[in-house]
Structure 1
């Protein structure tokens, strides 16, 4: 039996990642260090997605941080630092989160045999939680953007 599930018979879900972040803690970091502190964790576009008419929405910020942590946990790596800005949480046109992996995060996912990751984020009062679920593909070197699906020969 292989050490981890494979996608030989179709998509396989494995290695869930989950994280919870306290808004009280994030507010404290924001008060002590300002927005620039979070610029080490989030891209400028991600920070912009966390803004509302009065400034940064702390619960949305917490959700993004929790999502990045949850995604990293799906890689099941040891002795590696979370590549904060290589895990990008974008907002779809429908409002749900989309995961984009870059650089070292893309390489870790490829090494783990992860072809795609989906995430769910929820927040209420003083906490945000995120769950990340990978779809496994063939382990190997990182690849570029996914290829369009092949079409059957029409001859």
Structure 2
């Protein structure tokens, strides 16, 4: 589980600009967070929380979160999906994890996400 403060992310964007978010989100994820009015900050926060929750479900110690190797996508039905690439996929394989399910919720100034590992062969 992870929680992200919208105020904190808003401050980061104000100080460093939107391009800074590309350190944590792929271009495709950032595009998914855009509306006709611009960047939906709570959607950004939800994806950051989901990545943190997904990484925690891998149960690896002393590793840096491979931000861009964990991608949060939107299923056709609207729910979030986790796609693992590169190093994140290798960490999951080493841990015997076939995939990660995630749920995201946000309200006013916070986004939360819960991730659960799906064991291989399930």
Shorter-chain TM-score tier: over 0.9
Hey, what does 2:8 align to over in structure 1? 25
Post-superposition offset of 1:125: 0.6
| Superposed CA offset, 1:114-138 (max 9, x none) | 1121100000010000000111116
Give the aligned partner of residue 92 of structure 1: 75
1:50 paired with 2:56, answer no
- TM-score norm. by structure 1 comes to 0.76
CA distance in 2, matches of 1:113, 1:39: 29
User: So what's the TM-score if we normalise by structure 2?
Assistant: 0.96
Q: Larger Rg: 1 or 2?
A: 1
SS at match of 2:23: coil
CA offset at residue 64 of structure 1? 0.2
Distance in 1, Cα, partners of 2:3 & 2:24: 16
Match of 1:122 among 94, 105, 108: 105
Aligned to 1:106: 89
Alignment: residue pair count: 121
Counterpart CA distance in 2 for 1:65 and 1:135 is 20
Q: Tell me the CA shift for residue 89 of structure 1.
A: 0.4
Query: Aligned-residue CA RMSD in angstroms?
Result: 0.8
Q: Whose strand proportion is higher, 1 or 2?
A: 2
Gapped regions of structure 1 (runs ≥ 5): 1-17, 139-155
